[in-house]
Amino acid sequence: MTQVKGTFEVKRSMEPALDMGGGVEAGHFRFDKTFDGPLEATSVVHMMAAMTATPGSGCYVAIERVAATLEGRSGTFFFRHLGVMDRGAPSLDLGVVPDSGTDGLVGLSGRMAIDIVDGQHFYTFDYTLPDATAA
């Protein structure tokens, strides 16, 4: 397992709300990201979010398509996100979708953590990438 750290920029846009039935709508957002550091990448994220009647509780799910260069190898892959707020206590499960790597990123697996400090976004990416000569 290899660990890399860097920063990323995010641009958010609202998409039309999603009908969940019974007059309830889920928020739909698009994020465009640019990653700097050992993971050089751009990505597009589509997120669906819902809050509950209890203040500070809700969740989001998202799919993110990443076009990246990592360890000098280029390709694309998908992240899947599950973010939960439990009465204000956040948790995030963010990982590479199995078998989603293409080109030089075939076989990529891993998990990412995100920290936001003073409005700046930081990532820590723990990943495994098969040896290029083993393919």
Give the ranges where 47-107 is alpha helix by DSSP (H).
Answer: none
Domain ranges of the chain: 2-129
For residue 38, the model assigns a pLDDT of 95
The CA distances from residue 28 to 16, 17, 39, 88, 91, in Å, are 6, 5, 27, 21, 20
Residue 21 in tokens: 């039935």
Q: pLDDT tens digits, residue range 7-42?
A: 999 999 999 999 999 999 999 999 999 999 999 999
Residue 52: what residue type? T
Q: How would residue 135 be classed by pLDDT, with cut points 50, 70 and 90?
A: very low
Q: pLDDT tens digits, residue range 68-120?
A: 999 899 999 999 999 999 999 999 999 999 999 999 999 999 999 999 999 99
Where is 114: in which H helix or E strand?
A: strand 109-117
CATH number of 2-129: 2.40.350.10
Note the pTM of the prediction, 2 decimals.
0.91
